[in-house]
Structure formats: structure tokens, C-alpha cells
């Protein structure tokens, strides 16, 4: 029996920004996975989920006999077990494979045997890309786990993103110890600094060799992870046993095949507070309109979750659903007639098709700069109200940078600590070109190539968007 394609899992169209060539995916030699949308899960095979290792693990772990417990349970997956990719019976059946051949992730967690000898292992840490709640928590967690439980020789923090791995930037590297990271979990931002844009992989590997680094932890989004893949590939090309392990960071929650990226819950919680404030302003004046622009270049998760959390939103606009501008304005008029005020939440990447033909620059990461959908909606809503003879009071709020710079909330603090522990376990066991994350509640290892081959997006046919439509009462077409 062969697996049949289920039409329910056909990929939905990519957003207009991607069709315009934004963030072109980079190939990584033999470790590249073809571009796959997260709705096309049936196209993935067991081989796509296999992670790279540097070699046999022969060194006894200092955790063996204390923290290690070989028993399987509902709450623990042994290192010899696997975490299934598919979580529904229908999808598993459609593959037409024996149970043991179903695609599955390698579970995260400590191993009884290591690739690296801890007292001789030197560790590097780098943070890249935009700020996100929880960066300092991850740094602290990596240091405490590597030093406290494994007893590695040293942990070096490379400053200002991948610039810190250049010959010039490496001079600013700092040693990280349990004492120096004390209290970091209460601070927003990143103590190591960050930057955007790539660097020469060969030069970065030269720096790792010169510093004697055996393990490099890269904390960042898909661009950062692609950079980590290039470092791992360059090290492999030279035959160097350097482990590169990624901790996925994206405030937009757009990295696929993980339940959520760290900092996301903090971000949408803070965004919900901004929505509530805008709602208070809107309902306090006749024909008040609150317009809130939130982060979300290609994925509208912050807008969707924050709106559901606030319960005060009349319209949610996300990049995955094209805007019917005339229909939106008509609906807003009806809302104002009915209740005397309205609240609109829009993700920053929404409606980029409305800017077609306008010149657009790229940022340091190579991303096309977005057209300002918030300003466009503000002007169009105001103009439509004036044309209809309606006197509105519009408040436009853009809390983006304030949201991403705050400390992690308690949930994300716990998640960051556990991700850091999982990353150290993976690296010490010799995993490389690997990302740690959680899939259906289990910590797992997945190849960087898989994590960067597609993007997690709000499914317009999924239950999350259905919940948004139910909560707001907005027209189905956006």
C-alpha cells in the first residue's frame, strides 16, 4: 500500500511578500530540504527528520546515575524512543507505512554517553536578529547547564551576533560563568548584543578554531539558523568536530515543526494589554476607533492570539488572509453604527499586495522592507469616514518595539530554561546542524534544514483562525 495525497493537506498559497522573492531560502548542500509548507505534512519522510551527529558517543555522562532515568513514562521519552510527527490517526493511516517506519523526531534530553569530554569542552554562545523576550533567560540556562551539570571547561559569549565571530568582532568576546549570568532572567534584551546580516562562514569557523570552541549555540530565527547551518557545513567540510545547535527565537512564532518559539507568549500577552488600552480609548469617545499594528511579517500569530486574549477586537487582519479594503471599510461602518466604537488589529505584514509597484528597499538581513499597512489603514479609514460625513476619533497604536524588549513572563522563563537544557544535552551528545524545540509537548531534535525550509503560518482553514472569526464576528474573507 502506498501513501496517498490527502487533498485536505494541500499547501495554501504563499503570501504576496514571499511571491515577490522575500527571504529566499538558502540551500545547504546535501542537507537541504525542499521548500515545504507546514500544511503539506504528508510530504515529509523519516529521512527529513534525521539529525546529524559528529560521531559515536563513547564518553560516560556525568549525569548518568543521577539525573538520568531510563524508564519510559507518559511524561518522559527515552533516548531510544521517537516522537511521531503525525498526531492524528488519519494522517498516519494515509502514509501506508508500518508503525516503526512512520516519520518521527529524535527526543530531546540527557544521554548516558556523550561525544565530548566535558572538562575539555569549550562552548560558545551567540544571539542574532531582533530582540525577543527570553534571550537572556536562554543565555543563563545554557551557562548553568553547561557549567553546573556538565562541568565544561569554559563558556564564551560572542558579542553582537555573527559579527562577534569575525576576526575583528572576536576581540570583544566575554567569558560567561554562573556568577556573571546571575539575575539575567529578570532583564529584557540580550546581554551579548545582537545584529542582523550574515558573515563569511569560513571566517566564523576560523574564529571558532582559534578560540578552541567545540560547541556553538546559536540563538535566533530562521536567518540565524541558516547561518548556523552554514557554519556546521563549513566545519564538516574541513573535518572539524564542532557541534552547532540552534535555539529557535522568533517573536512571530513562524518557525515550523515546533509548538512555539520562546518569547511568543510574553509578546502576545503584552500586545493584549495594548489592545485593551486602545479599546478603552475607543469606547470613551463617540465613534472612537482603535487601530493597533502588531509584529508579524509573514505570520499573524501575535495578532490572532492577542486579539483572542483581549476579547475586545472587532476586526483582525493577518498576512495569510488578503484584505478586501472596501469590504473592511463597509464592515467598520456597520460596527460603528451598532456599538459606537471599533477596534482593529493588524499584523505588520498584512496587505502588502496594496503596495505593489512601489519601490522597496531591503534591510541588513536581505528582507524586503514592508509597506506601512498601519498608516495606510489609518488614512483610508479616516478618509472613508469623512466621505460618509462621520466624525471619528481614531487612535493609532504601534507597540512593536516595546513588546519585544520586555523580560520574559514566567511561562516563557520556564520554557527558555528547558530549551537551554535540551540544547546542551544535544550538543554534548554530538548533535550538530540541529535545532531543539517542543513538538506536541515533547522536547525533540530536528534538523536546521527542516526548520528553515518552510514557515509556520496561521492557516485560514484552521481552528485558530476559526476562533478569531467567531470572536470578532468579522466577515470570513477579512
Query: What does the pLDDT look like over 361-391, one tens digit per residue?
Result: 776 666 778 989 999 999 999 999 999 999 9
> HSE-up of 351 (CA within 13 Å, CB side)?
22
Averaged pLDDT, 413-442: 97
pLDDT at site 33: 47
User: Which of helix, strand or coil describes residue 341?
Assistant: strand
pLDDT at site 335: 96
| Residue range 90-149, pLDDT digits in tens | 988 999 999 989 999 999 999 999 999 999 999 999 999 999 999 999 999 999 999 999
Q: With CA atoms as reference, report the closest residue to 201 among 223, 235, 225, 231.
A: 231
pLDDT at site 34: 45
pLDDT at site 31: 41
H helical segments located in 184-283: 201-211, 222-238, 264-283
215-220 and 174-175: which strand pairing? unpaired
pLDDT at site 1: 33
Task: Please tell me the distance from the alpha carbon of residue 102 to that of residue 198, in angstroms, as a whole number.
Answer: 36
The contacts of residue 178 (CB under 8 Å, 6+ apart) are 143, 144, 147, 148
Percent of the chain surpassing pLDDT 70: 88
Averaged pLDDT, 272-299: 95
pLDDT at site 398: 93
pLDDT at site 443: 96
The radius of gyration computed from the CA coordinates of the chain, to the nearest angstrom, equals 23
> HSE-up of 242 (CA within 13 Å, CB side)?
31
Predicted confidence band of residue 7 (pLDDT cuts 50, 70, 90):
very low
pLDDT at site 198: 79
Minimum mean pLDDT range among 54-63, 179-188, 311-320, 350-359: 350-359
pLDDT at site 70: 54
**Which three cell numbers, joined as nine digits, stand for 199?**
558573515
Active site residues: 252
- Report yes or no: 128 and 139 within 8 Å, Cβ to Cβ: no
Q: What is the DSSP string of 190-208?
A: -TT----S---HHHHHHHH
pLDDT at site 146: 98
- Cβ-based neighbour number of residue 281 at 10 Å: 18
pLDDT at site 80: 83
Structural element, H or E, at residue 93: helix 89-95
Predicted confidence band of residue 87 (pLDDT cuts 50, 70, 90):
confident
What mean pLDDT value characterizes the chain?
88
Task: Please tell me the distance from the alpha carbon of residue 171 to that of residue 309, in angstroms, as a whole number.
Answer: 45
Is the model's pLDDT at 195 over the cut of 60? yes
Distances (CA, A) of 457 to 178, 362, 423, 440: 37, 22, 25, 17
The contacts of residue 159 (CB under 8 Å, 6+ apart) are 169, 172, 173, 174, 192, 193
**Which three cell numbers, joined as nine digits, stand for 375?**
498608516
pLDDT at site 311: 86
Averaged pLDDT, 193-210: 93
- Report yes or no: 189 and 136 within 8 Å, Cβ to Cβ: yes
**Which three cell numbers, joined as nine digits, stand for 70?**
531510563
Quick one: 401 exposed, middle or buried, by C-beta within 10 A (0-12, 13-18, 19+)? exposed
Q: What is the pTM of this model?
A: 0.87
Is the model's pLDDT at 74 over the cut of 80? no
Task: Please tell me the distance from the alpha carbon of residue 181 to that of residue 184, in angstroms, as a whole number.
Answer: 5
DSSP 308: H
Task: Please tell me the distance from the alpha carbon of residue 123 to that of residue 157, in angstroms, as a whole number.
Answer: 9
pLDDT at site 38: 53
Task: Please tell me the distance from the alpha carbon of residue 376 to that of residue 308, in angstroms, as a whole number.
Answer: 24
User: Which of helix, strand or coil describes residue 328?
Assistant: helix
Predicted confidence band of residue 476 (pLDDT cuts 50, 70, 90):
confident
Is the model's pLDDT at 170 over the cut of 60? yes
Task: Please tell me the distance from the alpha carbon of residue 291 to that of residue 381, in angstroms, as a whole number.
Answer: 10
- Look at the block and give the residue holding cell 486602545: 278
34-43, 60-69, 367-376, 403-412: which has the highest mean pLDDT? 403-412
- Check residues 74 and 336 and name the one with the higher pLDDT: 336
**Which three cell numbers, joined as nine digits, stand for 108?**
530531546
**Which three cell numbers, joined as nine digits, stand for 263?**
518569547
Q: With CA atoms as reference, report the closest residue to 423 among 143, 176, 189, 172.
A: 143
Task: Please tell me the distance from the alpha carbon of residue 473 to that of residue 350, in angstroms, as a whole number.
Answer: 19
Task: Please tell me the distance from the alpha carbon of residue 216 to that of residue 429, in angstroms, as a whole number.
Answer: 13
- Report yes or no: 270 and 317 within 8 Å, Cβ to Cβ: no
> HSE-up of 249 (CA within 13 Å, CB side)?
31
215-220 and 243-248: which strand pairing? parallel
Amino acid at each position: 500500500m502506498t501513501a496517498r495525497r490527502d487533498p485536505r493537506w494541500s499547501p495554501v498559497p504563499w503570501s504576496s511578500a514571499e511571491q515577490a522573492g522575500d527571504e529566499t531560502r538558502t540551500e545547504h548542500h546535501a542537507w537541504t530540504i525542499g521548500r515545504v509548507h507546514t500544511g503539506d505534512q504528508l510530504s515529509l519522510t523519516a529521512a527529513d527528520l534525521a539529525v546529524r551527529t559528529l560521531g559515536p558517543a563513547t564518553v560516560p555522562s556525568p549525569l548518568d546515575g543521577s539525573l538520568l532515568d531510563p524508564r519510559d513514562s507518559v511524561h518522559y521519552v527515552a533516548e531510544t524512543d521517537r516522537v511521531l510527527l503525525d498526531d492524528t490517526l488519519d494522517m498516519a493511516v494515509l502514509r501506508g507505512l508500518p508503525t516503526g517506519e512512520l516519520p518521527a523526531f529524535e527526543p530531546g534530553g540527557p544521554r548516558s554517553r556523550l561525544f565530548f569530554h566535558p572538562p575539555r569542552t569549550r562552548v560558545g554562545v551567540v544571539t542574532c536578529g531582533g530582540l525577543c523576550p527570553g534571550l537572556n533567560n536562554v543565555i543563563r540556562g545554557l551557562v548553568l547547564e553547561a557549567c553546573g551539570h556538565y562541568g565544561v571547561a569554559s563558556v564564551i559569549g560572542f558579542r553582537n551576533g555573527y559579527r562577534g565571530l569575525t576576526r575583528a568582532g572576536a576581540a570583544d568576546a566575554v567569558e560567561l560563568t554562573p556568577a556573571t549570568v546571575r539575575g539575567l532572567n529578570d532583564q529584557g534584551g540580550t546581554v551579548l548584543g545582537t545584529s542582523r546580516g550574515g558573515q563569511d562562514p569560513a571566517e566564523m569557523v576560523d574564529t571558532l578554531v582559534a578560540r578552541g570552541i567545540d560547541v556553538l549555540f546559536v540563538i535566533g530565527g530562521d536567518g540565524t539558523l541558516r547561518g548556523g547551518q552554514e557554519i556546521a557545513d563549513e566545519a564538516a567540510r574541513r573535518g572539524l568536530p564542532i557541534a552547532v545547535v540552534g535555539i529557535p527565537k522568533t517573536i512571530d512564532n513562524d518557525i515550523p515543526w515546533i509548538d512555539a518559539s520562546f518569547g511568543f507568549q510574553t509578546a502576545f500577552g503584552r500586545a493584549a494589554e495594548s489592545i485593551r488600552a486602545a479599546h478603552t480609548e475607543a469606547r470613551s469617545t463617540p465613534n472612537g476607533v482603535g487601530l493597533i499594528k502588531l509584529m508579524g511579517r509573514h505570520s499573524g500569530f501575535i495578532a490572532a492570539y492577542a486579539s483572542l486574549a483581549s476579547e475586545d477586537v472587532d476586526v483582525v487582519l493577518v498576512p495569510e488572509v488578503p484584505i478586501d479594503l472596501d469590504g473592511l471599510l463597509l464592515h467598520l461602518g456597520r460596527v460603528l453604527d451598532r456599538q459606537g466604537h471599533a477596534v482593529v488589529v493588524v499584523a505588520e505584514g498584512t496587505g502588502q499586495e496594496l503596495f505593489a509597484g512601489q519601490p522597496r528597499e531591503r534591510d541588513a538581513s536581505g528582507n524586503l522592507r514592508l509597506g506601512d499597512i498601519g498608516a495606510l489603514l489609518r488614512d483610508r479609514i479616516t478618509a472613508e469616514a469623512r466621505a460618509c460625513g462621520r466624525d471619528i476619533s481614531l487612535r493609532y497604536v504601534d507597540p512593536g518595539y516595546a513588546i519585544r524588549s520586555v523580560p520574559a513572563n514566567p511561562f516563557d522563563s520556564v520554557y527558555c530554561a528547558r530549551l537551554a537544557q535540551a540544547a546542551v544535552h544535544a550538543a554534548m551528545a554530538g548533535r550538530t546542524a540541529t535545532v531543539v524545540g517542543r513538538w506536541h509537548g515533547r522536547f525533540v531534535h530536528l534538523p536546521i534544514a527542516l526548520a528553515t525550509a518552510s514557515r509556520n503560518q496561521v492557516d485560514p482553514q484552521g481552528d485558530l483562525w476559526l476562533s478569531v472569526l467567531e470572536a470578532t464576528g468579522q466577515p470570513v474573507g477579512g
